[in-house]
């Protein structure tokens, strides 16, 4: 008995969503009943590296001869398959992932995004172009988006763009953009709860400040950000705290921060003071060698931040911590100011020697802790294998 064929259409479409799109298309050869199920699935994933162009089970328009397809380049076959799927697709498309090693010559990408904007049903969109590719204006017409992930592309807004009113999650990784575009985008996404921005170059196109940046995130709950993104907005300095606190922020991850950099401690202090309900804090520290001498500062110490208080923090993670006194002092400060802290995980830089590791562990374990129920784990990682726990309290 064919149990699968008797399932409701919605369940069959959900099952097909778990298959690569070419495998989903091949189910059309199973029977007449299955011939058109695949053209209604709401989730489409196009990955140039894993996509296998095949005519098995896919109806080819009569005007396209098979020998012509065989003569196509791999890139042309990839785009032809995408066009064929989009043209045959029926019903709403809710999720699209497009991964391709693109360059400026790939005008087909503009056509694909334009097609999606005309259908205007996409809620989750991931675009990964491997190299910088300037996104077309049609992207801004996808008004139904709730999740947007952009990787390896150039992102600049058009003046008439009124935002993504339904967007709740935004990820920008290795993106080239500007302060003006970033502020315009964030200020027009009123429901944004998750924001992840890493390895992104922000061009200095206006005089927007740190306050302007974070005032665009009134309901943010999860924030992952590179320190240098914040630094690009800090020409006028780093304020002590925001005029209006980020009361919804529960998870904060700040990467590439250095506490010998003149803006390192001020940025961390600003974020902590502005996040009264923070529950998890993750810090990835940047090594000394990446800090220009002109950007270093030794006059700012943790004594300037004794007023901070992490009332709700229960989890702390430090990555690539070194033997530097500034790093150790920051950890001690957080321990002393977190009364409900339960779990601390410290991952030491792999250049830390065993003697330095023991010294760090002793210093941290003997430091005052505001929380009576704290567990501290110190790990040393050899990137050729797995991390090993060296000290637990």
Q: What pairs with residue 222 in β-bridges?
A: 194, 251
HEC string of 235-267 equals CCCCCCCCCCCCCCCCEEEEEEECCCECCHHHH
What is the rounded distance in angstroms from the CA atom of residue 102 to the CA atom of residue 108? 10
300 CB neighbour count, 10 Å cutoff = 18
Burial classification of residue 328, based on how many CB atoms lie within 10 Å of its CB (0-12 exposed, 13-18 middle, 19 or more buried): buried
pLDDT in the model for residue 295:
72
Tell me the pLDDT tens digit for each residue of 115-146: 999 988 999 999 999 777 889 889 999 999 99
Q: What letter does residue 186 receive in the DSSP assignment?
A: H
Sequence-ordered strand ranges (E) for 8-63? 43-47
Nearest to 330 by CA among 313, 342, 318, 340: 318
What is the rounded distance in angstroms from the CA atom of residue 48 to the CA atom of residue 82? 10
- Residues of the chain above pLDDT 70, percent: 80
Tell me the pLDDT tens digit for each residue of 356-379: 999 999 999 999 999 999 999 998
What is the rounded distance in angstroms from the CA atom of residue 279 to the CA atom of residue 192? 19
What is the rounded distance in angstroms from the CA atom of residue 97 to the CA atom of residue 308? 42
Q: What letter does residue 90 receive in the DSSP assignment?
A: -
- Please say whether the beta carbons of 371 and 341 come within 8 A: yes
- Please say whether the beta carbons of 74 and 50 come within 8 A: no
90 CB neighbour count, 10 Å cutoff = 9
pLDDT in the model for residue 87:
83
- 378: tokens are 């110190």
pLDDT in the model for residue 29:
45
Its pTM stands at: 0.85
Give one DSSP letter per residue of 96-142, joined into a string.
Answer: EEEE----TT-THHHHHHHHHHHH----EEEEE-SS--BPPGGGGG-
What is the rounded distance in angstroms from the CA atom of residue 88 to the CA atom of residue 39? 6
Tell me the pLDDT tens digit for each residue of 228-278: 999 999 988 999 999 999 999 999 999 999 998 889 999 999 999 999 999
pLDDT in the model for residue 14:
65
CA atoms within 13 A on the CB side of 251: 9
- 229: tokens are 């993104």
Nearest to 335 by CA among 384, 302, 304, 292: 302
| pLDDT range class, residue 296, cuts 50, 70, 90 | confident
Comparing 65 with 142, which gets the higher pLDDT?
142
What is the rounded distance in angstroms from the CA atom of residue 352 to the CA atom of residue 285? 13
What is the rounded distance in angstroms from the CA atom of residue 265 to the CA atom of residue 32? 66
The shares of helix, strand and coil residues in the chain, as percent rounded to the nearest 5, are 30, 20, 50
- C-beta pairs of 158-163 under 8 Å, 24+ apart in sequence: 161/185, 161/188, 162/188, 163/187, 163/188, 163/189, 163/190
- 144: tokens are 């139904």
Nearest to 127 by CA among 146, 150, 111: 150
């Amino acid at each position: 008995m064919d149990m699968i064929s008797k399932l409701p259409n919605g369940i069959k479409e959900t099952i097909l969503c778990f298959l690569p799109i070419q495998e989903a298309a091949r189910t059309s050869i199973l029977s007449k009943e299955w011939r058109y199920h695949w053209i209604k699935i709401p989730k489409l994933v196009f990955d140039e590296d894993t996509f296998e162009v095949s005519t098995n089970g896919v109806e080819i328009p009569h005007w396209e001869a098979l020998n012509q397809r065989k003569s196509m380049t791999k890139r042309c076959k990839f785009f032809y398959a995408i066009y064929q799927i989009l043209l045959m697709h029926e019903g709403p498309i809710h999720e699209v992932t497009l991964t391709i090693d693109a360059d400026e010559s790939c005008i087909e990408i503009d056509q694909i995004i334009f097609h999606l904007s005309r259908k205007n049903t996409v809620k989750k969109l991931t675009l990964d172009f491997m190299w910088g590719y300037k996104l077309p204006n049609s992207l801004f017409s996808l008004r139904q988006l709730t999740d947007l992930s952009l990787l390896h592309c150039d992102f600049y807004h058009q003046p008439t763009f009124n935002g993504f009113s339904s967007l709740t999650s935004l990820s920008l990784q290795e993106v080239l953009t500007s302060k003006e575009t970033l502020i315009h985008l964030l200020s027009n996404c009123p429901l944004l709860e998750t924001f992840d921005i890493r390895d992104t170059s922000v061009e200095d196109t206006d005089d927007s400040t740190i306050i302007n940046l974070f005032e665009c995130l009134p309901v943010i709950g999860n924030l992952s950000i590179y320190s240098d993104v914040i630094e690009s907005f800090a020409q006028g300095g780093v304020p002590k705290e925001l005029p209006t606190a980020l009361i919804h922020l529960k998870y904060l991850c700040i990467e590439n921060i250095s506490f010998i950099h003149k803006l390192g401690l001020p940025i961390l202090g600003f974020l902590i003071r502005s996040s009264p309900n923070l529950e998890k804090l993750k810090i990835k520290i940047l090594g000394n060698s990446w800090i220009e001498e002109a950007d270093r500062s030794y006059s700012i110490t943790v004594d300037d931040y004794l007023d901070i208080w992490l009332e709700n923090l229960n989890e702390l993670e430090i990555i690539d911590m070194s033997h530097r006194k500034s790093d150790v002092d920051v950890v001690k400060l957080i321990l002393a100011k977190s009364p409900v802290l339960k779990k601390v995980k410290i991952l030491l830089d792999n250049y830390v020697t065993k003697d330095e590791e023991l010294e760090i562990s002793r210093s941290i374990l003997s430091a005052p802790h505001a929380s009576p129920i704290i567990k501290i784990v110190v790990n040393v990682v050899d990137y050729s294998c797995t991390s090993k726990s060296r000290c637990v309290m």
